[in-house]
Chain A
Amino acid sequence: MVRKVVRGFYAVAHAVKLCRPNVICAYPITPQTEIVENLAAMYANGELENCEYITAESEFGAASILVGASATGARTFTATCSQGLILMSEVLWNAAGMRLPIVMVIANRSLSAPLSIWNDHQDSMAMRDACIMQVYVENNQEAHDMIPQAYKIAENRDVMLPFMVCMDGYKLTHAYEPVDLLDQETVDKFLPPYDPPIKLTTKDPLTFGCYAPPHCYMEFRVVMQRAMERAKKVMEDVFEEWAGLTGRNWGGLIATDHMEDAEVAVVAMGSVVGLVRDVVEEMRKEGKKVGLVKIRSFRPFPVEDLRKALKDVERIVVFERAVSFGHEGPVAMELKSALFGHSDAKVYSFAVGLGGRDIPKQLVRKCIEKSEEIEPGFYFEGVKDFEEVIV
């Protein structure tokens, strides 16, 4: 293991290389592109053994190629975001239903229109219901560490589902920061070669995702839900194994700070967590009983862990990086449904940093403090004064 200052792109690509993928296929989209560019360079330099790097004509094509490749028993990788992810979505629902453990990195970016290339979580949130696991990372070290873990979880026979490692575009992908880069030996020890329970060959043809009329469709969905439920335990085991192996413990499905006696819980996901933690520490020093809950796994949703962590709090402040238009922030929605009947805490959901708007420290603090004075509900924070007009 060596600590180096690298860009987020490289931290991911390096980890993917160590996982010995067999097929990498992607279509460029900012801010993801340099992840697969790094992998393409590694491929061109002969650093990727027993691997095919395929350039596709679109994200739809890239995802389709990986569905085929994964069905043949290949370990596969792609990266995308934003409109690219939405273009892939038709295929990804199939990948989930076909139970293919494709691992992908989502360099989180907002959705058009208006056209925006900057960061929020709207893209991966739109894939919430697709039976794809989603883990949000806080920094480039966690992104790097999540790649081998993602393969191990996705390829577990009890799970067999696609996996999205969600990392904030620009904030993480474009940032240079020190990362402890894994070595081949460590990853080989941790991640066995992919042993598919079933695979497609030219000699033994099979239909993946066959026709399921009403008399049997529901059962397939029951099985998928069960796999997601089982994934929780598999994730916990894999996270624990990882902590033992590398000494880096990122927590379970959630990670908490100062929650033992907290009256106010702050819930966040992704790259803003570090800053939120800093604010929580600051407020603790001032004697305020504030705690942090970092949601790592959004799918499967850590219902039991959240009920346990939040059972005694009075107020919950949620930082949202997306909006479910017509309702509220998706994280608060899920959180409230998990806590219903288990907690009387008031939930304050703040949408911040949409379309890459900066989230300064003062804004984080303002939201937490504001929750003391306002009614529970959904609020946009950091919005300028404006007037709605027609051209």
Chain B
Amino acid sequence: MVDILIEVRFHGRGGQGVVTAADILAVAGFKEGYWTLSFPMFGAEKRGTPVVSYLRLSDRQIVERDEIYNPDYVVVLDPTVIGPVRVEAGIKENGMIIANYPKTAEELRKEHFSNLNSSVKVLTINATRMAMEILGRPITNTAMVGAFAGATKLIKLSTLKETVFEWFERKGEELANKNVEIVEKAYKEMEGKV
């Protein structure tokens, strides 16, 4: 019996850090005082295969460990899964889709979500370009984590930056700093769009 239960579903392709995106937000959300739970829909995770992961944020201990059928938020890390995968499936009224997409939200809605309930907000960000510019690799998880926080304001930018830095620190300070830069850029860009 929870008062607040926020459910987020992440879509993307193997290699983009779909699982890590949910995990980073679980750690950051916990720092913000939420009880959190993240887990992947584990499959044959080859590079390029469609991948799903889940995140729950609550003010109480989370006991629901089933997959998320009716998400409050959907985060899409890869523009090409939209279509082959019905990323919008089951999204709640007044929900939000935050997608890595090279075109505007209006274009995305027209091209893929024409039947979507109009109460569902659609937001886009060109995370692939952002990742290529800063990381030099099309790994979009940190950009989309930043975009999620910027669009939803569920997690403070400072908390997220700290979490992302700690997450990537073991792989080197330079990489950690670059990811923090991406988070900040995506957060601010999204903040302006809401």
Contact = CB atoms under 8 A, between A and B. Distances in A.
* A touches B in complex, CB < 8 A: yes
B176 to A, nearest CB: 18
Contacts of B36: 5, 176-178
Interface stretch (A259-267, A337-345, A358-366): A358-366
A189 to B, nearest CB: 26
A27 interface: no
Given A278-B63, A359-B66, A171 B39 contact: yes
Given A5-B26, A5-B30, A177-B36, A171 B65 contact: yes
Interface in B148-186: none
Interface residues of A, number: 27
A274 B65 CA distance: 8
Nearest to A170: B42
A272 interface: yes
Given A5-B27, A171-B65, A177-B62, A278 B37 contact: no
A282 interface: yes
B1 interface: yes
Contact of B67 (A31, A139, A358): A358
Interface string B19-63: 000110011001000011111101000000000000000000011
Contacts of A278: 1, 63-64
A174 interface: yes
B39 A178 contact: no
Contact of B30 (A171, A175, A178, A282): A178
Nearest to A276: B63
Interface residues of B, number: 20
A275 B64 CA distance: 5
Given A5-B27, A176-B26, A360-B69, A274 B37 contact: no
A118 interface: yes
B65 A272 contact: yes
Interface in A29-56: 31
A94 interface: no
B37 A176 contact: yes
A359 B1 CA distance: 18
B64 A174 contact: no
Residue among B22, B39, B63, B65 facing the most chain A CB atoms (10 A cut-off): B65
Contacts, number: 64
A31 B27 CA distance: 22
Interface string A302-322: 000000000000000000000
A188 B64 CA distance: 34
Contacts of A117: 42
Contacts of B66: 275, 358-361
A82 to B, nearest CB: 14
Given A278-B1, A281-B1, A177 B26 contact: yes
A274 B63 contact: yes
A321 to B, nearest CB: 13
Contacts of B67: 358, 360
A277 interface: yes
Contacts of A5: 26-27, 30, 36
A117 B35 CA distance: 28
Contacts of B23: 7, 176
B1 A176 contact: no
Nearest to A138: B63
Contacts of B63: 139, 274-275, 277-278
A282 B1 contact: yes
A171 B40 CA distance: 8
A358 B66 CA distance: 6
Given A5-B26, A282-B1, A174 B62 contact: no
Q: Which of A4, A170, A177, A361 has the most CB of B within 10 A?
A: A177
A156 interface: no
A358 B64 CA distance: 11
Nearest to A273: B63
A83 to B, nearest CB: 17
Contacts of B38: 175-177
Contacts of B1: 278, 281-282
Of B27, B62, B63, the most chain A CB neighbours within 10 A belong to B63
Interface of B: 1, 22-23, 26-27, 30, 35-40, 42, 62-67, 69
8 contacts: A5-B26, A170-B40, A170-B42, A176-B39, A177-B26, A177-B36, A274-B63, A277-B63
Which 9 residue pairs spanning A and B have beta carbons closest together? A274-B63, A175-B39, A176-B26, A5-B30, A176-B38, A5-B27, A358-B67, A177-B37, A360-B66
Given A178-B30, A360-B67, 4 more contacts: A174-B39, A176-B27, A274-B62, A359-B66
